[in-house]
Structure 1
Amino acid sequence: MKGYWKPALLILGFVSFVYAFTTIETEIFQLQNEISTKYGSEMNFYKFLKLPKLQQSNSKEITKNLRKLSKKYHPDKNPKYRKLYERLNLATQILSNSSNRKIYDYYLLNGFPNYDFHKGGFYFTRVKPKTWFVLAFIWIVINIGQYIISIIQYRSQRSRIENFIDQCKQQDNTNGLGVKQLTFKQNEEDEGKNLVVRFSDVYVMEPDGSETLISPDTLDKPSVKKCWFWKIPASIWNITLGRFVSDTEEEEILKDNKKFDGEHVKKGNTVKRRSAKKGQKKMELPNGKVIYSRK
């Protein structure tokens, strides 16, 4: 699971964002908590405002209803109703605003959070409504973005390699029919790397004398399987149920190499083993046996 701390932190940040309440949500929760504590758990803004049509009331009817209540509960007429009138006024402001009313109706249908001063305010004892939808949407957007970025990076790297190969070929005076040795330096202090242009192919001379082909085809192509969308679930599977269901890499290699035992060619006291093909990796087991991975 190494290398997944970045997406984990990113997801954690988005979860914190999802669970953060807006200012209007906090005002709604506070007022709802006050009236439900004072008048009972069944109390809501519509009943509190004594709206005849309750949730069927429109904005004009809600505003008009406050004027009616003001005749009795306005603090200028009766100071003891000051706190009550403030609550009536706030409830009216929330319900007369279409966007705020949608927020209130949503929580009225799905449930309001609990309040605990020691826990820092309002909190849900269950997953916050819409959380799974929001997280799923964010997760999809992140992976789409990651895939698009990988495509851009792949094309950029491929373009740089192709340009570098073209520059090397331009210095090849054999016209691709022979061998030309070059030295590549990034700056004057750089020791440089020895290059070989052989029949229009460019190679890097390694310290051990081997040659490595420089080609844009060696780049890993972008794939959905290389995104977190695939890699994280696959890693979780491999370290949990996958350990018992699927063969390990070493077990698969051992199975593939059983046939090598019958392919050894004996000459005198020596045994010639099958050499590694292109793309295979040589592995030596603790018992001294040498095997080769699949392509």
Structure 2
Amino acid sequence: MPSIRIGIWLLLICAIGYCFTTAEVEIFQLQQELVKKYGSNIDFYRFLKLPNLQGSTAKEITKNFRKLSKKYHPDKNKKFKKLYSRLNIATQVLSNENTRKTYDYYLKQGFPDYDFGKGGFFFRRVQPKTWFILLFVYTAASLIHYVLLKTQVQSQRKRIQFFIDQVKSQDDTHGLGEKNLTFQQHAEDEPKRITIRYGDVLITEDDGAETPISPDTILEPGVLDTLFFRLPWIFIKPFVKPFQSDKKQEKSSKSEKPKKVEKESTNGDVQDAKPRKSATTKSNQKVLPNGKVLTARKKK
């Protein structure tokens, strides 16, 4: 099938792009051998005993190799064969501009390890630079989120202020009296009562309470409202919620305890207040169809 073939080709291309080059593998192998023999502080510059280390030029590196080859050439002593081969590879890597850049990059970022069980070189741990990049991206996203919150609040305040200005434009008392208006946002909605009282705009709620309409009712977003703190709170909240519910239950149980009503008697003693029985009898009461009870007064 064409789709499967395309997928296989894409996987092969990705695998080739992910693999290390021959030059990189040669660098990794030599670096690993030097570390095992001389310790973790060794690198190609110290191994070649360059006076200027990383500041050495290609000519200086080549000249230094000729000097070392006179001393460690295998023709003079066969035991220097392995050492001479390593000196030669290190010189070739550092004298070439491209391979030297590659070596300097891994020298700074860290070399991968080799595992025969995994069949090649691999990075054992995530480099600190990766964590720094993740933290930077997370912080940048939080800053963008904060800017969006600020923009949203400003937009809501402008919309409310525009509504207030429209309502006040219909106030014929010029802020010196009271004006009642009705507001209906959608055709299917019940109209709301809007009151303009001495320059203040109030809306009547369903329970009859009047609530002032003002841009100041929209709170400014804080740092704790940003993604930087809100995202961790999503994972922490399930563990904190049971403790909060226990505290609420304790408070509610304390508030529901019956209070003993007491009153003072005429002689100064404190007595319990007892409910008095109604003076009216059932014969003097009449229950209406709507559930209300009428009580007839006795004639004197």
TM class by smaller structure: 0.5 to 0.7
Equivalent in the alignment of 2:74: none
**Given residue 105 of structure 2, which amino acid in structure 1 is its aligned partner?**
I
Structure 1 residues 34, 220: CA separation in 2 closer, same or farther (over 3 Å shift)?
A: same
Aligned 8 A contact 1:193 1:204 in 2 = no
Equivalent in the alignment of 1:88: 92
Structure 1 residues 127, 55: CA separation in 2 closer, same or farther (over 3 Å shift)?
A: farther
**Given residue 262 of structure 1, which amino acid in structure 2 is its aligned partner?**
K
Structure 1 residues 114, 57: CA separation in 2 closer, same or farther (over 3 Å shift)?
A: closer
**Per-residue CA distance 1:241-280 (angstroms, 9 max, x = gap):** 6745x6646335426635x7438899949xxxxxxxxxxx
Equivalent in the alignment of 1:254: 252
Partners of 1:120 and 1:198 lie apart in 2 by 80
The answer for unaligned runs of 5 or more in structure 1 is: 1-22, 73-80, 270-295
**Given residue 139 of structure 1, which amino acid in structure 2 is its aligned partner?**
Y
- Does the alignment pair 1:52 with 2:34? no
- TM-score by length of structure 2 reads 0.53
The alpha carbon displacement at 1:165 in A equals 0.8
**Per-residue CA distance 1:5-31 (angstroms, 9 max, x = gap):** xxxxxxxxxxxxxxxxxx9x9668544
The alpha carbon displacement at 1:170 in A equals 0.9
Equivalent in the alignment of 1:75: none
Equivalent in the alignment of 1:131: 130
Structure 1 residues 126, 225: CA separation in 2 closer, same or farther (over 3 Å shift)?
A: same
Q: Which has the higher contact order (CA 8 A, sep 6+)?
A: 1
Matches within 5 A, 1:1-20: none
- Does the alignment pair 1:105 with 2:107? yes
The alpha carbon displacement at 1:67 in A equals 8.1
Structure 1 residues 131, 39: CA separation in 2 closer, same or farther (over 3 Å shift)?
A: closer
Structure 1 residues 180, 238: CA separation in 2 closer, same or farther (over 3 Å shift)?
A: same
Partners of 1:157 and 1:175 lie apart in 2 by 26
The answer for unaligned runs of 5 or more in structure 2 is: 1-16, 70-84, 263-272, 277-300
Partners of 1:121 and 1:184 lie apart in 2 by 72
The alpha carbon displacement at 1:37 in A equals 6.8
Partners of 2:157 and 2:119 lie apart in 1 by 52
The alpha carbon displacement at 1:181 in A equals 0.9
Structure 1 residues 64, 31: CA separation in 2 closer, same or farther (over 3 Å shift)?
A: same
The alpha carbon displacement at 1:136 in A equals 2.9
Secondary structure, counterpart of 1:127 in structure 2: coil
The alpha carbon displacement at 1:196 in A equals 0.9
Secondary structure, counterpart of 2:96 in structure 1: helix
Partners of 2:31 and 2:104 lie apart in 1 by 20
Equivalent in the alignment of 2:61: 65
Equivalent in the alignment of 1:282: none
Equivalent in the alignment of 2:283: none
**Per-residue CA distance 1:105-145 (angstroms, 9 max, x = gap):** 323xxx42346799898643333223333333333333233
Partners of 2:180 and 2:260 lie apart in 1 by 41
Partners of 1:249 and 1:120 lie apart in 2 by 58
Equivalent in the alignment of 1:279: none
**Per-residue CA distance 1:35-73 (angstroms, 9 max, x = gap):** 3578775597626x963317724252x355358879x9x
Equivalent in the alignment of 1:142: 141
Percent of pairs identical after alignment? Answer: 26
Aligned 8 A contact 1:36 1:42 in 2 = no
Aligned 8 A contact 1:181 1:196 in 2 = yes
Partners of 1:131 and 1:264 lie apart in 2 by 69
Matches within 5 A, 1:98-247: 103-107=105-109, 111-114=110-113, 123-176=122-175, 177-183=177-183, 194-199=192-197, 200-204=199-203, 213-240=212-239, 243=242
**Given residue 225 of structure 2, which amino acid in structure 1 is its aligned partner?**
K
The alpha carbon displacement at 1:222 in A equals 0.7
Partners of 1:202 and 1:262 lie apart in 2 by 41
Structure 1 residues 237, 185: CA separation in 2 closer, same or farther (over 3 Å shift)?
A: closer
Aligned 8 A contact 1:179 1:197 in 2 = yes
Structure 1 residues 214, 56: CA separation in 2 closer, same or farther (over 3 Å shift)?
A: same
Structure 1 residues 149, 254: CA separation in 2 closer, same or farther (over 3 Å shift)?
A: same
The alpha carbon displacement at 1:154 in A equals 1.4
Structure 1 or 2, whichever has the larger Rg, is 2
